[in-house]
């Protein structure tokens, strides 16, 4: 049985050991020269910033982040190459693992069941590739999870600071920023302050013209990157449709993205209004992650590390809280499809670019997630602050039916 073997205090300790082993394995590979990396893009941009050169290419490739990301990476460029790579992995893995732990703590409220060990077991395989490559996706995912915990505690300034820092690292966090700003009234003004500070950072060096030109170049690069993601197969919903021969024009894709964004906001709004404070935030993280995976024009197979903790959380709840093993194994199957999206995908459909399986699995997960959210909302027809206070406790036995 999973209950006695994955919910003890020693299991939480062992889960932290697994995260440590993940980092040590990657660090060993770096020292041995056997790891791939994307940090060269960050380092190159940092050097260009220091030299006053242009950060961006015009073809939608290369450095795809705000100038602030180049500034934040400067300390790592001062280190020897291998040490820089290792230090960056230490930061990304630590922030991500800390976020997973805090997300689990929020979801555990009222259930008395430790979810972190099993969530770790599901999440690490989905995280491996992004962690090995040093992708900033792990940082923003970790900051997103830390944010939703602060929201559950009504720590509005902390949540705003975390989201603003996340924006400096990677613009993808803008989805959660807009979701939170539209749902939590106390957050809008704080987010405007936090984002305003972040926007002002490039001007601190005293060359306002250079900072402004980089913002303009960033906007032009985003347009080229979006075009690339719209007209070539990537690991999002429209890449999946391309695999089965369904071509969706760029204008229709944009309309669908806006429609999905409106539905995401609607789902989050109803969750906020009807569910207790500690239950809504984990849903927000999950639905924001699903939206990003399916509708971001530049989603890669590795990007699915961002939604891994949400899959792990529902899986852990299915096994340990609901005792719904059928649902648990369905979620394990979805996670396995994402982990093996490249290898499995190219074998199942050799003629197609292997980016279709991960979004297909995410569509399945999104359906399960939204179905459960709808059932939970029906159980809370009016706002309430009493009753169970965790995502786990809103699930018992209903997904079996």
**DSSP characters over 148-189:** HHHHHTT-HHHHHHHHHHHHHH-GGGHHHHHHHHHH-HHHHH
Which residue from 302, 282, 284, 303 is spatially nearest to 292, judged by alpha carbons?
Answer: 303
pLDDT higher than 80, residue 333: yes
Q: Which positions ≥6 away from 299 have C-beta within 8 Å?
A: 229, 234, 235, 236, 239, 292, 293, 359
For residues 112-130, average pLDDT: 93
The H or E element containing residue 199 is: helix 185-200
What are the tens digits of pLDDT across the range 46-69? 999 999 999 998 887 889 999 999
Residue with the larger pLDDT of the pair 250 and 201:
201
For residues 121-126, average pLDDT: 96
Q: Which two tokens stand for residue 133?
A: 């490559």
CA–CA gap between residue 219 and residue 243 (Å, rounded): 30
CA–CA gap between residue 112 and residue 392 (Å, rounded): 10
What are the tens digits of pLDDT across the range 371-384? 888 888 887 764 44
For residues 245-251, average pLDDT: 88
pLDDT score for 377: 85
pLDDT score for 231: 75
Do residues 140 and 168 touch, judged by C-beta distance below 8 A? no
For residues 319-334, average pLDDT: 92
CA–CA gap between residue 141 and residue 92 (Å, rounded): 10
What are the tens digits of pLDDT across the range 343-361? 888 888 877 778 899 999 9
């Amino acid at each position: 049985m999973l209950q006695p073997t994955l919910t003890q205090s020693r299991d939480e300790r062992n889960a932290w050991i697994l995260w440590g082993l993940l980092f040590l394995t990657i660090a060993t590979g770096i020292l041995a020269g056997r790891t791939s990396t994307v940090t060269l893009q960050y380092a190159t941009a940092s050097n260009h910033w220091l030299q006053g050169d242009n950060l961006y290419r015009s073809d939608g490739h290369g450095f795809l982040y705000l100038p602030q990301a180049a500034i934040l990476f400067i300390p790592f460029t001062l280190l020897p190459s291998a040490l820089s790579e290792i230090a960056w992995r230490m930061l990304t893995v630590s922030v991500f693992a800390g976020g997973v732990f805090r997300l689990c703590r929020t979801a555990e409220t009222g259930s008395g069941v430790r979810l972190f060990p099993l969530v770790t077991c599901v999440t690490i395989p989905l995280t491996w590739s992004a962690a090995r490559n040093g992708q900033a996706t792990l940082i923003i995912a970790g900051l997103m999870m830390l944010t939703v915990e602060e929201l559950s505690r009504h720590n509005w300034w902390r949540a705003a600071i975390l989201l603003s820092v996340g924006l400096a690292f990677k613009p993808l966090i803008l989805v959660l920023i807009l979701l939170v700003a539209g749902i939590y009234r106390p957050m809008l003004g704080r987010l405007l302050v936090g984002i305003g500070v972040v926007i002002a950072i490039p001007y601190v060096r005293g060359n306002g013209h250079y900072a402004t030109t980089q913002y303009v170049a960033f906007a032009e690069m985003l347009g080229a990157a979006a075009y690339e993601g719209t007209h070539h197969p990537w690991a999002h919903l429209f890449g999946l449709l391309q695999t089965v021969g369904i071509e969706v024009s760029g204008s229709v894709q944009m309309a669908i993205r806006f429609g999905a964004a409106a539905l995401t906001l609607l789902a989050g709004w109803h969750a906020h209004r009807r569910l207790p404070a500690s239950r809504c935030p984990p849903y927000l993280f999950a639905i924001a992650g699903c939206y990003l995976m399916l509708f971001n024009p530049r989603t890669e197979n590795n990007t699915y590390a961002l939604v891994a903790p949400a899959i792990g959380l529902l899986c852990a709840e299915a096994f340990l809280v609901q005792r719904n093993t059928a649902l648990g194994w369905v979620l394990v199957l979805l996670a396995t499809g994402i982990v093996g999206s490249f290898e499995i995908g190219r074998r199942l459909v050799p003629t197609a670019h292997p980016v279709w399986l991960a979004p297909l699995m995410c569509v399945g997960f999104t359906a399960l997630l939204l179905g459960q959210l709808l059932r939970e909302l029906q159980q809370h027809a009016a706002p309430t602050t009493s009753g169970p206070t965790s995502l786990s406790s809103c699930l018992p036995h209903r997904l079996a039916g």
